[in-house]
Amino acid sequence: MLSGDAQRLVKLLYRLESEGLEPNIVIWALIKEWETLYQIDQLQRTCQRINWSALRVWGNKQGLYTKLVNELTPQRFNDIRDALKEADFQFKNTTPVRPFVILCHLCLLFTPYAVSGFPLAYE
């Protein structure tokens, strides 16, 4: 997801679905990634030093995080946050018919592809 490789991302999600992974685990991971990216963004905007180890981002991934943060606008951060919040609420309160389709859409929001214009109905 961090690298923007949509094809690899979809294949990974398909594999996780076929293995029976609980969708709430993926939602939790996406929320955690958003929080990390947002913290990095805020540190960069205020010209503060990024403590990568405190964020639990190791050397081989720092470039991916930095690149993605630089591609995300404040509006995009808000859009992703809102979509994650809505999906998390729906997953906890209902049972979506195809949860991994929703998860795929959420993951693609982090990539350069313009999927934010395609809202999903969570019913």
Q: What does the alpha-carbon distance between residue 65 and residue 81 come to, in Å, rounded to a whole number?
A: 17
Q: Tell whether the model's pLDDT for residue 20 goes beyond 70.
A: yes
37-64 residue pLDDT tens: 999 999 999 999 999 999 999 988 999 9
Domain 6-108 fold is Zinc Finger, Delta Prime; domain 3 (1.20.272)
pTM of the model as a whole: 0.86
Q: Tell whether the model's pLDDT for residue 123 goes beyond 60.
A: no
- Residue 119 is predicted with a pLDDT of 58
Three-state DSSP at 122 gives coil
Q: What does the alpha-carbon distance between residue 65 and residue 102 come to, in Å, rounded to a whole number?
A: 23
CA 43 to chain centre: 19
> Strand locations in 7-112, DSSP E?
none
Q: What does the alpha-carbon distance between residue 82 and residue 43 come to, in Å, rounded to a whole number?
A: 21
